[in-house]
Structure 1
Amino acid sequence: MQQQPNNKNSQDLAGKTAVVTGGNIGLGFQSTLELAQRGAHVVIACRTIEKGEAAMARMRQQVNSASLEVLPLDLTDRDSIHRFALSFTAKHQHLDILLNNAGVVNLKELARTKEGWEMHMATNHLGHFLLTGLLFETLVATPDARVVTVSSGAYKAAKMNFDDLHWEKRPYARVGSYAESKLANLLFMFALQRRFDDAGSSAKSMSAHPGLAATERQQSIGIGGWLSRAMARPVEFGARPQMMAATDTSLPACSFLGPRFGIWGNPSPIKLSGLAVDEGVQEKLWAISEELTGFQYPQTEKAA
């Protein structure tokens, strides 16, 4: 018998505003749809208006009353991220949920942004680091805001190489590059929470991973071959951990949610270990990220 998604933590989100990066496809599409079903106004952040509007039309076929808008966002382009933040803050005074969902996975060839950043690290970490920073004051001003940064169990295989973050000295390894970016997501989660705490904010920084889900992204790159594709759960299941992280008010800050049995099962908290929980590594990545993005987060009371 197929396991059903666990919706016990669903709640009314009327009056809430959410941003979902990559909200036009896969887990992002499903998360946007569910947030809208619960009454939230959701901003779909994706590369082009056309892709966002096509996704929005599909969502409204399922939820006619969905409150949605689209704003363009390219996480590999600092100018695009700044424009998105300016557009969002010009329209919205609060941000209840920021779902840092967009990402790239196991790119076969080494690719770089125009700044020279390796594409996994740029898209999965640095772009979201900058975006969250530009929205930081709005998040701090919003009671009980949530930032959920989607990671992966692949973080366990990573060794954060600060001397060669962009694979300029090492032979490129797509699995290793992806794993480092997913470890970076968790390091960011912890360091961001300290900034929220220092600001006296009630905001919570969280993370989640989907397990093995039948998303367009995973299927397109052929993760694990035919066996993994056969075992993959429907996207509704893959979205459950990040939805729980975004909406379950009983969870403590810095919770990492994933399928109970690794690739399947209802979402549950996962204990993190290794480099992910090393505060020194967290703060080193934070400092490097500020330097690379050219953006310093607003000074909080304790940090000032």
Structure 2
Amino acid sequence: MARWTAADLPDLTGRVAIVTGANSGLGYRTAEGLARAGASVVLAVRHAGRGAEALARLRAAVPGASAQVRPLDLADLDSVRAFAAATSDDVDLLINNAGIMHVPSRHTTAQGFELQFGTNHLGHFALTGLLLPRLRNRPGARVVTVSSVMHRFGRAAQLDDPQSERSYSATGAYSFSKLANAWFTLELDRRLRAAGAAVLSVGAHPGYTDTNLVTTGPGADGATLWTRVSSAATKVLGQSDRVGALPTLRAAADPAVRGGEYYGPSGPGEYRGHPVRVRYTATGYDETHARRLWDLSERATGVSVP
């Protein structure tokens, strides 16, 4: 079978896509790919200045692109609600891409949630729930939630302490948040199908990709020798962000994709390569854990997904 590339994207003219964390890395490359295929793209970003720079870069790369920047801080549920309230148009594609990784010490969001879980899962859970009525109006709409190979190391036992209040591990909290992405993707798919909705919930992960994710989180307490070594190693060993974004692009637009599927790189360990259908760890498919996460997410965010 031929390798899937961005050239395989169908015509997305007339489709509206929201990409979180679209100012750099995977988010930017995802937005660029969707815009190149004709979609009207909303770059949902935390920093207005960086968003403006990304928009200028996008318009230079894709002349005539339909794109705009809108503020969104997933670590602040007030910002999530404001973003959703200001979304007046229907949405075809919601790409839950933004994230933070391996924060050395325990930090919290505006509402007091552990930063990695609060940003990577709770922020996207609330955003999806609030935008779902906009998605359900569009035939073929999709929600794509980006997980990570690190979800394999997430522990279901952390559902007893999702905010890492009793003990904190930078890697453990990140892995749990990425496992939460898997549970959320699959539980959303089950609920959409049970409701007879046409929206697809699909997962993706980029493998080992050279982005600023490896330094932003670890550098939250200040740059260290480890952040510098990690950055240098990723530049040598990681694949480009353009290739790393391909699983997300395929999950978002390949007509053959079905709800509940998961896409990642084809190479050994799913660290590099072109996108193929892969599988979450067995824990990711546990429906009891997924329902428990869903319930605690509704309580934490105050968002009841219709």
Please name the residue that 1:256 is paired with: 262
Deviation at 1:226, TM superposition (A): 4.2
Q: Which runs of 5+ in 2 are unaligned?
A: 219-226
Q: 1:197 to 1:237 in 2, by over 3 A?
A: same
Give percent identity, aligned residues only. 38
Deviation at 1:205, TM superposition (A): 0.4
The amino acid of 1:270's aligned partner reads V
- Name the SS for the 1:43 alignment partner: strand
The amino acid of 2:114's aligned partner reads E
Deviation at 1:108, TM superposition (A): 1.2
Distance 1:68 1:6 in 2: 22
Please name the residue that 2:25 is paired with: 26
Please name the residue that 2:278 is paired with: 270
Distance 1:211 1:251 in 2: 19
Distance 2:119 2:281 in 1: 24
Please name the residue that 2:161 is paired with: 164
**In the alignment, is residue 229 of structure 1 matched against residue 228 of structure 2?**
no
Distance 1:253 1:9 in 2: 19
Deviation at 1:234, TM superposition (A): 1.1
Contact persistence 2:25–2:212 (CA under 8 A):
yes
Contact persistence 2:81–2:127 (CA under 8 A):
yes
Deviation at 1:225, TM superposition (A): 6.2
Deviation at 1:8, TM superposition (A): 5.2
Q: Which runs of 4+ in 1 moved over 6 A?
A: none
1:170-212: per-residue Cα shift (whole Å, max 9, x none)? 1x21011100000000000011112211221111101111011
- Name the SS for the 2:86 alignment partner: helix
Q: Which runs of 5+ in 1 are unaligned?
A: 299-304
**In the alignment, is residue 175 of structure 1 matched against residue 181 of structure 2?**
no
Contact persistence 2:77–2:110 (CA under 8 A):
no
**In the alignment, is residue 287 of structure 1 matched against residue 295 of structure 2?**
yes
Please name the residue that 2:223 is paired with: none
Distance 2:48 2:134 in 1: 24
Deviation at 1:292, TM superposition (A): 0.2
Contact persistence 2:6–2:33 (CA under 8 A):
no
Q: Where do residues 43-58 of structure 1 align in structure 2 (5 Å cutoff)?
A: 43-58=42-57
TM-score (norm 1): 0.92
Q: Where do residues 118-267 of structure 1 align in structure 2 (5 Å cutoff)?
A: 118-160=114-156, 161-170=158-167, 172-218=168-214, 221=218, 222=227, 224=230, 226-261=232-267, 262-267=270-275
TM-score (norm 2): 0.91
